[in-house]
């Protein structure tokens, strides 16, 4: 991504709110955007915020729409940790979809920065039984389904910061100041590598029948099919994703790719023909 001249509006949770005793990766991300040439980078963060609570308390009308009216180029939703911690997945899905739709209606790019990795000993507040990383995986799938390649997966980049000794706060949720830059650097690297793919990875995967990583992508809704989805270890929490592919993707790769290209080309030609006939 070329940051030069772009205006960023970041809606975040406690990971973006600056305090004296905790590291806040979102603040570091804002600084990196400005250093990279962004014209503006503003954070609207709140402790305990989730996509659900933001929508439920009128944030779309009072915060998001006014920001869109100010001419921001990119909206970043640094949300997901509290959605994983304390809300039902249907409510989470509905909230993220509303935020996505509002940004799309305004023709503004929108990204979601998903929750980090957690130890399995950290339980979700919704029942104090389910490991939060298990629910975070569900939030990640929701994000991939809605945002496609505009979803930023934070889990692998934070897999080495799970314990207090590694730089996590005692609550297992937040980051100490010494470790916050690890998450910041990972997120900024993913934004920097984003190339503005014009065709969603989901469409490419469906058309070709191939695992997204075989096509050169890492963030894609089609990962939910099981060929690329990261797993969580019961002892350490997070296991980096292994690149494995279903047997159907290994066989006849060239034929599948050609068939997918033919189907997409035929659809485009058909749409043009219908338009010309009108």
Q: Where are the domains of the chain?
A: 7-196
5, 18, 69, 22: which is closest to 44 by C-alpha?
18
CA-CA-CA-CA torsion sign (18, 23, 25, 28): positive
Whole-number Cα distances in Å, 268 to 202, 271, 272: 17, 5, 6
Average pLDDT over every residue of 182-188: 94
What pLDDT sits at residue 94?
Answer: 96
Phi, psi of 74 (to 5 degrees): -135, 130
Q: In what order do the strands lie in the sheet with 40-45?
A: 40-45, 7-12, 74-78, 109-113, 151-152
DSSP state of 62: I
3, 30, 31: which is closest to 194 by C-alpha?
3
Residues paired with residue 9 on neighbouring β-strands, in sequence order: 42, 75
Summary mean pLDDT of the chain: 78
Percent of the chain clearing pLDDT 90 (strictly above) = 57
Whole-number Cα distances in Å, 264 to 216, 223, 271: 19, 21, 11
What pLDDT sits at residue 120?
Answer: 87
Regarding the domain delimited by 7-196, which CATH topology (the fold level of the hierarchy) does it fall under? Rossmann fold (3.40.50)
What gap in Å lies between CA 139 and CA 143, rounded to an integer?
6
pTM: 0.71
| Tokens representing residue 255 in the block | 């034929």
Residue 24 banded pLDDT, cuts 50, 70, 90: confident
Other C-beta atoms lying within 10 Å of the C-beta of residue 202? 19
Residue 221 banded pLDDT, cuts 50, 70, 90: very low
What pLDDT sits at residue 270?
Answer: 66
């Amino acid at each position: 991504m070329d940051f030069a001249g772009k205006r960023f509006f970041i809606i975040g949770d406690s990971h973006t709110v600056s305090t004296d005793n905790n590291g806040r990766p979102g603040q570091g991300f804002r600084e990196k955007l400005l250093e990279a040439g962004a014209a503006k980078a503003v954070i609207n963060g709140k402790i305990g915020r989730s996509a659900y609570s933001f929508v439920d308390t009128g944030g779309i009308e009072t915060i998001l729409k006014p920001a869109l009216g100010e001419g921001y180029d990119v909206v970043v939703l640094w949300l997901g940790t509290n959605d994983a911690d304390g809300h039902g997945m249907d409510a989470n899905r509905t909230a993220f979809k509303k935020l996505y739709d509002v940004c799309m209606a305004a023709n503004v790019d929108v990204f979601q920065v998903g929750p980090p990795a957690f130890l399995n000993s950290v339980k979700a507040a919704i029942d104090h039984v389910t490991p939060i990383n298990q629910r975070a995986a569900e939030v990640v799938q929701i994000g991939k389904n809605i945002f496609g390649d505009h979803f930023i997966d934070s889990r692998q980049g934070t897999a080495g910061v799970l314990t207090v000794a590694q730089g996590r706060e005692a609550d297992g949720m937040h980051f100490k100041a010494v470790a916050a830059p690890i998450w910041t650097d990972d997120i900024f690297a993913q934004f920097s590598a984003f190339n503005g793919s014009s065709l969603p990875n989901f469409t490419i995967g469906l058309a070709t029948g191939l695992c997204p990583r075989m096509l050169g992508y890492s963030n894609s809704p089609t990962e939910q099919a099981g060929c690329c989805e990261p797993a969580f270890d019961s002892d350490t929490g997070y296991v980096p994703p292994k690149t494995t592919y279903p047997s159907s993707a290994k066989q006849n790769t060239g034929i599948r790719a050609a068939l997918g290209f033919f189907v997409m080309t035929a659809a485009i030609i058909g749409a043009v023909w219908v338009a010309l006939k009108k």
